[in-house]
Chain A
Amino acid sequence: MSGDDLRMTGAAQRGPALAIVVDGVPVTAYGGESIAAALMAAGQPVMRWTAHAGQPRGYFCGMGVCQDCLVTVDDHPNVRACMTPVREGLRVATQQGLGDLGVSR
């Protein structure tokens, strides 16, 4: 964990370190974390930009309801960062608008 890491220290027990890729940059996450937790800990609170107004959105309700923390994961848009656990090699992209793949996927 780097000095910038926002994770708790001390009593917290976490899973093994995993390498994920966020917007092309390698980031360390830990087993059991959600994508949202990993992004927040890495100091990246903006998870998507809205389609019409181009405004930033991120972790809000934290329980899968508000649809604000949508990211693109392994080329699939609209994945809820707060509800999706990290895994080794996962590629996360800050989502622009509705994402790239559109309807058929």
Chain B
Amino acid sequence: MQTVKLESSDVVVIGGGVIGCAIAYHLAGAGKRVTVVERRGVGQEASGANVGLVTLFSGHSLEEPDPGPVYELTRASADAYATLGDEVGVDIEYERCGGVVFAETEDRLASIRRAYEGYQRHGVPVSWLDAPAVRECEPAFSSDRVLGGVFCPLNGQINPLMLCRAYALGARRRGARFVLGVAVQEIYHANGRVSAVRTSDGAIRCEHVVNAAGAWAAEVGAMVGIDLPVVPARGQIILTEPVPRFIRHVVSGAEPSARQTRRGNVIIGSTVENAGFDKRVTTDTIAEFAAGVLPHFPRLRGLNVIRSWAGLRPATPDHKPIIELADDPEGFCLAVGHSRRGICYAGGTGQLVTDLIAGGARSLSPEAFRLSRFAGASGRWNAQPIASAPADRRESTLMEDAE
């Protein structure tokens, strides 16, 4: 082992995105000495390239009509955000403004209805809206084809960059150390247990290592021989000039989705594309966004687009995260694959990882997020690579409910 330049730590978190920062905040709160190692800066990748929705009832609910682990993870995050701003003294612009999930086809309406009934049984506040009620609920939204939907008062929006900042600042105040601009090169593991992380700035001895490396999670997993089905999925986003608030609620189900930030800019996105690690914005996507968003939000007509950017989401085959303390090597924790809902899952992930590592009372169940759910006959995960961009881009790349 090379010279240990950096102080030892209980836990080294690899990745300073919203997931790594939330984990550091919660672990430090549980009394752990934490070092976050981040190759660039806090929140520089997918954490800053998303629309910023925190939705309890949304597209994911249609796949999980009886609220289960995904709901609980989101709920834990949303509840954490409700108090985080005051805890740290940073305005994360979290508004539980409520949101509409609407349908323009009978099939989708039936799926929404099924989830609505499941959520109601579970005691989640949701109300059923007929077509006029959807339009009345959010006057900025327009659709001739809307058939109905659900209003969930818990759905909301947040400033994802300020969320990262709040977690990072809060973690630092609790004693966590951030090593920025430093890359992880190797994870020392001998006798089935992690012992240190070697970085471009020296090695850090530790008991636990958390892989929170986002789209680069597979690279970090490979350092300890764990094969992770996490691939980069490009998400492009555009932002308009700021205008006085006219979108009051979160609207889910429109492609692309649009939300108005606290400053008044409208953020429109996003794609889910297999472009490898290419983060470029493409002009045809910007045109597609504009054409797609105007029928649903006609008041956007005439607004200037002032920014466009893209980020790489850590996609898993089922779009759900992998959160688990590995058996081999011991001490290696996975907090990866948050796909396009990292902002919805960060707070809950921070709590769950802390429960796993610090052994606290478990408020969240990790069972649904185990890596082994991808295991095929070979014993390895059996992930389908995400499809390369096919001819019909509208269908495949503008994935609904990208949060």
Interface residues of A (CB under 8 A from B): 51-52, 67, 70, 78, 98, 102-105
Contacts and interface: CB of A to CB of B under 8 A. Distances in A.
Nearest to B243: A103
Given A51-B264, A52-B263, A98-B264, A103 B244 contact: yes
Contacts of B241: 67, 70, 78
User: Do most interface residues of chain A lie in helix, strand or loop, or is the interface mixed?
Assistant: loop
A73 B165 CA distance: 36
A98 B242 contact: yes
B303 interface: yes
Given A51-B264, A52-B263, A103-B299, A98 B306 contact: no
9 contacts: A51-B242, A52-B262, A78-B242, A98-B242, A98-B243, A102-B244, A103-B243, A103-B244, A105-B302
Given A51-B242, A67-B241, A98-B243, A104 B302 contact: yes
B261 to A, nearest CB: 12
B263 A104 contact: no
Contacts of B306: 67
A78 B242 CA distance: 8
- Of all A-B residue pairs in the complex, the 7 with the closest CB atoms, nearest first, are A78-B241, A103-B299, A103-B243, A102-B244, A98-B242, A105-B302, A98-B264
Contacts of B264: 51, 98
Nearest to B297: A103
B2 interface: no
Interface string B283-319: 0000000000000000111111010000000000000
B50 to A, nearest CB: 21
Contacts of A98: 242-244, 264
Output the residue of B244, B262, B299 with the most chain A CB within 10 A: B244
Interface of B: 241-244, 246, 262-264, 299-304, 306
A104 B301 CA distance: 7
Contacts of A52: 262-263
Contact of A104 (B242, B262, B299): B299
A79 to B, nearest CB: 9
Contacts of A70: 241
Given A70-B241, A103-B302, A104-B299, 17 more contacts: A51-B263, A51-B264, A52-B263, A67-B241, A78-B241, A78-B242, A78-B304, A98-B243, A98-B244, A98-B264, A102-B243, A103-B246, A103-B299, A103-B300, A104-B301, A104-B302, A105-B302
Contacts of A102: 243-244, 246
Contacts of A67: 241, 306
A102 B242 CA distance: 9
Contacts of B304: 78
A47 to B, nearest CB: 15
Nearest to B140: A103
Contacts of A103: 243-244, 246, 299-300, 302-303
Nearest to A102: B244
A103 B263 CA distance: 14
A7 to B, nearest CB: 30
A104 B241 CA distance: 13
A52 B242 CA distance: 12
Contacts of A104: 299, 301-302
Nearest to A78: B241
Contacts of B263: 51-52
Contacts of B299: 103-104
Nearest to A66: B306
